[in-house]
C-alpha cells in the first residue's frame, strides 16, 4: 500500500498548518491505529479531531530547549494518506531547567583588544524570563560573577 506522508507545522491547534514536506512510502500489511478518543488528547486542528475517518497512528512529545513539540501522525481511511502534525506547546509558567552555556568573545575593552570567556547556568524560568548564574573573565584580568535576569523573545 502506498502511503503519502505530509509534514505540517503550526503554533496552535486552531492555526493554519504549514506544509513542510511530502514523502510517499510503501507499507506492507495492516496499519494499527489508536481509538478515536485519543485524538481528543492531542492538540490537533478541530476538523481533524471530529473526522471519524482520520485515525491517530502515532503521537510523541519532543522536548526542546525553549518549547516542547507534540508530533502526531494521522491516517486517512479514504486515500491511505498519513499526515504528521507538529504542535508547539506553550511555555510553562514556571520551569526549573538546568541549561548551561559557555561563550568566548573577542573585541575592544577600555580601548584595548580583549578576549572574554563567559558562562551562564539557568536555574529557573518564568514564561520568557530566565534567572541565571552568570560569570565572565577577560584577558585584561577583570572578571564578573553574579546573578542575571534574562528575557528571551
Instruction: Examine the pLDDT at 147 and tell me if it is beyond 70.
Output: yes
pLDDT per position as a tens digit, 38-86: 777 777 788 888 888 888 887 777 766 567 777 888 877 777 777 778 7
Cβ neighbours for 104, distance < 8 A, ≥ 6 positions apart: 115, 116, 117, 118
Residue 1: band (very low, low, confident or very high) from pLDDT cuts 50, 70, 90: very low
The residue with greater pLDDT, 129 or 109, is 129
3-class SS of residue 145: strand
If one compares 121 and 43, the residue with the highest pLDDT of the two is 121
- The kind and range of the H/E element at 133 are strand 129-138
More confident residue, 12 or 46: 46
Q: Is the pLDDT of residue 8 over 70?
A: no
- The larger pLDDT score, comparing residue 71 to residue 27, is at 71
pLDDT-based confidence at residue 105 (cuts at 50, 70, 90) = very high
d(CA 86, CA 45): 11
Average pLDDT, the chain: 77
Kind of pairing between the strands at 2-10 and 82-88: parallel
- The closest of 128, 16, 11, 125 to 69, measured between CA atoms, is 11
SS3 41: helix
Cα separation, 59 vs 46, in Å, equals: 17
Q: How confident is the model at residue 12 (pLDDT cuts 50, 70, 90)?
A: very low
Of residues 85 and 101, which shows the higher confidence score?
101
- pLDDT of res. 22: 58
Q: How many CA atoms lie within 13 A of 131 on its CB side?
A: 7
Amino acid at each position: 500500500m502506498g502511503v503519502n506522508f505530509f509534514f505540517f507545522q503550526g503554533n496552535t491547534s486552531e492555526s493554519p498548518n504549514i506544509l513542510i514536506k511530502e514523502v510517499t512510502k510503501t507499507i506492507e500489511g495492516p496499519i494499527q491505529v489508536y481509538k478515536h478518543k485519543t485524538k481528543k488528547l492531542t492538540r490537533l486542528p478541530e476538523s481533524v479531531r471530529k473526522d471519524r475517518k482520520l485515525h491517530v497512528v502515532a503521537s510523541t512529545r519532543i522536548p526542546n530547549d525553549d518549547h516542547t513539540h507534540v508530533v502526531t501522525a494521522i491516517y486517512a481511511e479514504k486515500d491511505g494518506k498519513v499526515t504528521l502534525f507538529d504542535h508547539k506547546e506553550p511555555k510553562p509558567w514556571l520551569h526549573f531547567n538546568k541549561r548551561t552555556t559557555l561563550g568566548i568573545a573577542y573585541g575592544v575593552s577600555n580601548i584595548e583588544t580583549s578576549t572574554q570567556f563567559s558562562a551562564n547556568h539557568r536555574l529557573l524560568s518564568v514564561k520568557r524570563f530566565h534567572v541565571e548564574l552568570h560569570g565572565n573573565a577577560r584577558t585584561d584580568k577583570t572578571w564578573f560573577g553574579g546573578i542575571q535576569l534574562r528575557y528571551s523573545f
